[in-house]
Structure 1
Amino acid sequence: MPTIDSEYLKDVLRRLLEVPSPSGYTDAIVRVVCKELDRLGLEVSATRRGAILALYKGAKSEGSRAIVAHLDTLGATVKRIKDNGRLELVPIGTWSARAAETTRCTLFTDEGTFRGTVLPLKASGHTFNQEIDVQGVGWKHVELRIDADASDRASVAALGVNVGDSVAFDPGTEMLDNGYIVSRYLDDKAGCASMLAAIKAMKDAGVKTPVDIHFIFTITEEVGSGASAVLLEDVVAMVSIDNGTTAQGQNSAETGVTIGMADEVGPFDYHLTRKLIRLCEENDIPHQRDVFRYYRSDSASAVGGGADVRTALITFGVDASHSYERIHLNALESIAGLVCAYAASPVEIRRDTEELADLKGFTTQPTDRAPASSDEPEI
């Protein structure tokens, strides 16, 4: 298996995190990633809205594979300019206003940017005493304070601020010597960094793949559409890279690869998922399995968009997902290693290249009547 350049992985992750990219405001991050992919030597193209497709050319195009991560992040949108000059916000993506409270941010207007802070409506203990601890939680209970002369609706309007402007929150990134990485937006810029590190490792080692590998970076996963319209016709299997959850009651871990067996949409493809588990075992990649009840990824949006492809999910364990997140470098290295192993692995279900076919070469799953045959085909 190719060697993963850990320093490159950390560097490219830091660079991705420095570029604001809430869903709907992703042009800048698309340009940064396209430039990096071009530097790595891949053929790069982008859709009308900016989803990126990077081609790692294999022995043939038929039966190609897609590996997908998303560049867009959580954020907020201006809902209303209030009489006191503060801004009411609604979230971009699903996350708690509690995680936004007292966070520094950037407001993007048609005429430029402003810095500001999201604060609870009652922020000062000197004014509100114990009321600061009993006020409600939610987006209606916070407001954006712009760092400018903005004391009423008219002064805010004079700055060029409008309803619908986007807000990006500072990531607050820290990379510690013990391997822990703390930041907002590790979901899913850490997945994107792992994918870029895998591409670099494959290019450096001259890895040959049996089929084309389409490395795809989507830009609307946090709002649900993700990979719904980016898969090319030859793609028969898709692996999403996203965050796992290390909260109580989950089996995810901050080290190794956490392989998603199912999410709120249902189980992932049996054969592709088991192949990834087998590749972990064969390449000594630490791994565990998990099921996510309140979670969906690019795989769900692709299938929901009508793609008849096998899907799987590989994740890096995240503590406090969609808040101030923490991961470990080991998980990102493990993800990158598994991507390399999967990209180079042989094609075994050759029937998948046909949109419709008879049962010759069709897959087999274990039953209680008889074990699966030893020559059971895998992807």
Structure 2
Amino acid sequence: MIRLPIDTDYLADRLARLLAIPSPSGYTDMIVRDCCQELRRFGLEYELTRRGAIRVRLKGEHEHPGRALISHLDTLGAQVKLLKDNGRLELVPIGNWSSRFAEGARCTVFSEAGFYRGTILPLKASGHTFNDEIDTQPVDWRHVEVRVDALARTASDLEHLGVAVGDTVAIDPAPEFMENGFVVSRHLDDKAGVAVMFAALKAMVEEKVTPPVDVLWLFSISEEVGIGGSSVLPHDVSSLVSIDNGTTAPGQNSEEFGVTICMADQTGPFDYHLTRKLARLCRDNDIRYQKDIFRYYRSDSAAALEAGADVRTALITFGVDGSHGYERIHMHALRSLAELATAYAMSEVEIPRDAEEMGTLKGFTTQPMTEADQKLTAESDPTD
């Protein structure tokens, strides 16, 4: 076994800290600062992109072929679309989530003049006024509004407060950590993945281990709007493993326990060799796992490939019930993911050819086919 022991108390504390820092896409400066301070506490050096994506390199015995793990710091949220005549705010969502889950949420409006607390309400919020109409009104973002907790009865009042179109609205996570290991909160996607990576990093630093090759630990800031992994990946990385949420729902094979390895998402299959290596690492290290396919899902890996990165990609996840809503996970999955992250970081290189960006057939991979095809492959493989 090559997995390392994981400090689950630290993992939970780190997750709670991350959840306490608002970070909808486009408003991530403060959570970036917090993560950099934690990395400094570990004694690790880091680099920041212009906008704040974080890159940490754990030096290995060899530089190439480098490997990377990535999670994202940004969450769902909203922006002010309109200052309404009734002194309330019309919203547009940041990321893809339903207004059904926004109704009743407490939130913070970040304006240039300061911040204001508020509540997201349906347009017809009072049963004493609208009777059964509160249950028949449509569910979409045009039928909710923010009631700002300040004296605001008109659009002019809102302007006087300094609230403006485009202001960011952060949704309260309302986290609960249960004694039985369940965690319920908004924004577990993907702050739980970030906490997993920090717990794995902590284990590697404390054990003073040196991986076989350089391992990069990446934290993106715009995954929820589709571009997270597009600009933080260096050219010397040959494989990229995303750590994000799985979907525990009817018709899915994900679970809230163990690791769920995603074999494909809406952008297509993940790398054949890398996903099977991760499954084998789970078996060899006694880590519970299952496989799944997500039809309406994309991750940092997709953004990296679309940006032109020639890397093998994989996605390992913690099963989430109610994703992009009131989410629920279990600490067993987070610990399992952190164990797999350390096992992957410490695993031997199986495809040495990946150290080169371009090459010949020598050392190129094969996949199972018919007996005749395998014979043809062996005959055509050059020996020098």
TM-score by length of 1: 0.97
Indicate if the aligned counterparts of 1:243 and 1:317 stay in contact, CA closer than 8 A. Answer: yes
What SS is found at the alignment partner of 1:42? coil
Following the alignment from structure 1 to structure 2, what is the Cα–Cα distance between the partners of residues 314 and 216?
15
Indicate if the aligned counterparts of 1:82 and 1:153 stay in contact, CA closer than 8 A. Answer: yes
Following the alignment from structure 1 to structure 2, what is the Cα–Cα distance between the partners of residues 56 and 273?
22
CA 122–369 in structure 1, closer or farther in 2 if over 3 Å, else same: same
- Structure 2 residue 35 is the aligned partner of structure 1 residue 33: yes
Following the alignment from structure 1 to structure 2, what is the Cα–Cα distance between the partners of residues 111 and 354?
52
How far did residue 60 of structure 1 move? 2.1
Following the alignment from structure 2 to structure 1, what is the Cα–Cα distance between the partners of residues 281 and 368?
19
Aligned residue number for residue 381 of structure 2: none
How far did residue 42 of structure 1 move? 1.5
What SS is found at the alignment partner of 2:244? strand
Following the alignment from structure 1 to structure 2, what is the Cα–Cα distance between the partners of residues 339 and 115?
38
Aligned residue number for residue 176 of structure 1: 178
**What per-residue deviation string (whole Å, max 9, x for no partner) do you get for residues 8-62 of structure 1?**
0000000000000000000000000011111112211110000000111111222
CA RMSD of aligned residues (A): 1.2
Following the alignment from structure 1 to structure 2, what is the Cα–Cα distance between the partners of residues 17 and 60?
36
Percent identity between the two aligned chains: 63
- Structure 2 residue 294 is the aligned partner of structure 1 residue 272: no
Indicate if the aligned counterparts of 1:56 and 1:214 stay in contact, CA closer than 8 A. Answer: yes
Count of residues in correspondence between the two structures? 374
Aligned residue number for residue 26 of structure 2: 24
Q: Which amino acid aligns with 2:337?
A: I
Aligned residue number for residue 161 of structure 2: 159
Unaligned segments of structure 2, at least 5 residues: 379-384
Partner residue of 2:108 out of 106, 118, 121: 106
CA 371–247 in structure 1, closer or farther in 2 if over 3 Å, else same: farther
Indicate if the aligned counterparts of 2:235 and 2:309 stay in contact, CA closer than 8 A. Answer: no
What SS is found at the alignment partner of 1:136? coil
Aligned residue number for residue 136 of structure 1: 138
Poorly superposed stretches of 4+, deviation over 3 Å: 370-373
Indicate if the aligned counterparts of 1:104 and 1:116 stay in contact, CA closer than 8 A. Answer: yes
Following the alignment from structure 2 to structure 1, what is the Cα–Cα distance between the partners of residues 199 and 146?
37
Aligned residue number for residue 225 of structure 2: 223
How far did residue 369 of structure 1 move? 2.8
How far did residue 202 of structure 1 move? 0.9
Aligned residue number for residue 71 of structure 1: 73
TM-score by length of 2: 0.96
What SS is found at the alignment partner of 1:108? strand
Unaligned segments of structure 1, at least 5 residues: none
CA 306–131 in structure 1, closer or farther in 2 if over 3 Å, else same: same
Aligned residue number for residue 284 of structure 2: 282
Aligned residue number for residue 263 of structure 2: 261
**What per-residue deviation string (whole Å, max 9, x for no partner) do you get for residues 69-114 of structure 1?**
0000000000000000010000000000000001100000011100
What SS is found at the alignment partner of 1:232? coil
Q: Which amino acid aligns with 1:119?
A: L
Q: Which amino acid aligns with 2:146?
A: L
Aligned residue number for residue 320 of structure 1: 322
How far did residue 371 of structure 1 move? 9.7
Following the alignment from structure 2 to structure 1, what is the Cα–Cα distance between the partners of residues 22 and 121?
20
How far did residue 67 of structure 1 move? 0.3
How far did residue 372 of structure 1 move? 7.4
